[in-house]
Amino acid sequence: MAEFFKMLITSELKTAAAHRNGEYRHEGSFAGMHALLLIPIMLVLGGCGQGAAPEGAAKGADPGAAAATPGVVALTDPALKYLTVEPVGASAFSSAGAVPARVAIRPQALASLGSPVTGRIVSILVHPGERVSAGTPLVKIQSADAAALRATLEQATARAASAEEILKRNNEMVAKGVGLEFERFEAETRAKEARAELERARRPNVLLGAGDGDFVNLRAPNAGVVMSIKTSVGAMVAPGGDALVEVADPTRLWVVADVAETDAHTVVAGERVNVLVPSVGRKIEGIIDGIGSQVDPETRRLPIYVNLKGGIEGLTPGMQAELRFMNTSASVLTLPAEAVLIKNGKQRFVYVQRPDNRFEIREVHTGGAYAGRVAIVDGLKAGEKVVVKGALLLDSEADQLL
């Protein structure tokens, strides 16, 4: 079969030469068409061992043995002109290019307030966007549980006061020599029990705050702005339920960005970045404060948190932003995106040219993509020659990365 393909190639090349010499007169040029038709035939000849001897083979060894090696492709010289081969090298490369981000309130500056008791909302005392100070009543709740807790506290307070008074009197009588020690000891025991009961009754009432009867006022824990109200008059509420009101300090902002999983290894805490907020037309300098510990299973992105160095005037939570890394690396190996092929939806590989002009498939691990180039994290060494254009001619079952 190899001889048959040789005869066919010779015939095609003669025909192409005849066209160039004017022996055949047809509209259009057939040379390019014939050359493209020859590529798969040349690949077959390469697989049959018609290329040069493999690297390291002894003189006179059968070249077909190496050419048939899995993952190795051989081309004849005319087909090589359809490939572009370049040595892989290091170049300045942005850590992760532009990254989508958003303005957000720091968790420490946001208070989500729920109901401390089971009850019913009787009035809402503030509105969204209103500035409040610490202790400002936000929502009024009517609760039978609150009345019971307050009554229990009053009873425990009275019993504790009575026990303390009896203990005081017994101590005075023993000091004067007219009292009995065992009576003083019993009074001291009852006083300790009363104190413990009072402490148990006081704890739940701390959550209720100041108030009388069965009404409870939900109050702002600190100064800030009412961000949202998530309830209405008449709604039933209970401890452990959803937040009723959110209060936040609008001056304590940062930026949350979502960096691609493949770029996460290039992000370093403390790195300087630029934050562009299109809605206000400003660019703000920031510093990466922290990196999330879990990749989102749907977006395959990892959150990073950026401190803003001033200039937050006009920013509000939820604004869209864009993060750009200021630092670049000069030690990252990169390739044009079209040099990287994909198989099975996730396996990434390139074709490396060997000294014998055969092309060996090589799996690689890629990083981020920026300005038409892809960072190569693992699988290649600087100086190795890689097919950067025309790689699909070597493997028709693959897809290009970009």
- Alpha-carbon distance 402 to 204, whole Å? 61
Class of the CATH-defined domain 98-106+252-326 = mainly beta
Other beta carbons less than 10 A from residue 90's beta carbon: 13
**Over the stretch 136-189, which tens digit does the pLDDT of each residue have?**
999 999 999 999 999 999 999 999 999 999 999 999 999 988 889 999 999 999
Alpha carbon of 351 to those of 76, 303, 335: distances in Å?
16, 34, 12
* Architecture of the CATH domain 118-246: Beta Barrel (2.40)
- Alpha-carbon distance 66 to 49, whole Å? 8
- Residue intervals in the chain for CATH 2.40.420.20: 84-94+330-400
- Alpha-carbon distance 339 to 384, whole Å? 13
* Interacting residues of 118 by C-beta distance below 8 A, sequence separation 6+: 143, 145, 236, 237, 238, 239
The per-residue pLDDT for 329 is 52
pTM for this predicted structure: 0.52
Pick the CATH number of 84-94+330-400 from 2.40.420.20, 2.40.30.170, 2.60.15.10, 1.20.1250.20: 2.40.420.20
- Residue intervals in the chain for CATH 2.40.50.100: 118-246
Please say whether the beta carbons of 113 and 244 come within 8 A: yes
The per-residue pLDDT for 77 is 72
More confident residue, 18 or 314: 314
- Residue intervals in the chain for CATH 2.40.30.170: 98-106+252-326
The per-residue pLDDT for 195 is 94
Q: Strand, helix or coil at 379?
A: coil
The per-residue pLDDT for 14 is 47
